[in-house]
C-alpha cells in the first residue's frame, strides 16, 4: 500500500517552501542535493512536518550538508511512515542516514 503514494515534486530547501508544506498527516521526507539525489530520509509526525524539515536548513540543529531541495510523502499513520522510511533508506542508502 505504501508504494502507491508518491512523493511531492522537488521543492527548494527554503523557509518559504517549508511553510507551504502540509503537516496534517505524518510524512516521510527526502533531502536532495543539487543533482536531485536523496542524501537524507526522515520521518515527521503529524503537525511536526514543517518543523522537522526546517531543522535541516543550514545553521539548523540538524543541518544536512549539500541539501538544496526536499520532497515529502504524506502517510496515513506513523507506523506506515516508519516502514516507508526504512524501505527508502535500505533502497537508496542516503549519505547522511546512519
pLDDT at 90 over 60: yes
Residue 51 lies in a domain: yes
Q: Give the pLDDT confidence of 63-86 residue by residue, as tens digits.
A: 999 999 999 999 999 999 999 999
Residue 2: its pLDDT value, please?
44
Which residues are within 8 A (CB) of 53 and not within 5 positions of it... i.e. 6 or more apart? 13, 18, 21, 29, 44, 70, 72
Residue 4: its pLDDT value, please?
55
* Number of structural domains found in the chain: 1
Residue 98 lies in a domain: no
76 versus 3: the higher-pLDDT residue is 76
The mean pLDDT of the chain is 94
Residue 97 lies in a domain: no
Residue 59 lies in a domain: yes
Contact 31, 10 (CB under 8 A): no
Contact 29, 41 (CB under 8 A): yes
Amino acid at each position: 500500500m505504501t508504494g502507491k503514494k508518491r512523493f511531492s515534486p522537488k521543492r527548494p530547501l527554503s523557509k518559504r517552501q517549508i511553510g507551504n508544506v502540509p503537516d496534517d498527516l505524518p510524512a516521510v521526507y527526502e533531502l536532495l542535493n543539487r543533482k536531485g539525489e536523496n542524501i537524507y530520509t526522515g520521518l515527521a509526525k503529524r503537525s511536526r512536518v514543517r518543523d522537522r524539515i526546517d531543522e535541516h536548513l543550514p545553521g539548523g540543529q540538524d543541518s544536512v550538508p549539500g541539501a538544496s531541495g526536499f520532497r515529502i510523502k504524506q502517510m496515513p499513520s506513523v507506523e506506515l511512515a516508519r516502514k516507508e522510511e526504512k524501505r527508502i533508506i535500505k533502497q537508496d542508502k542516503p549519505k547522511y542516514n546512519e
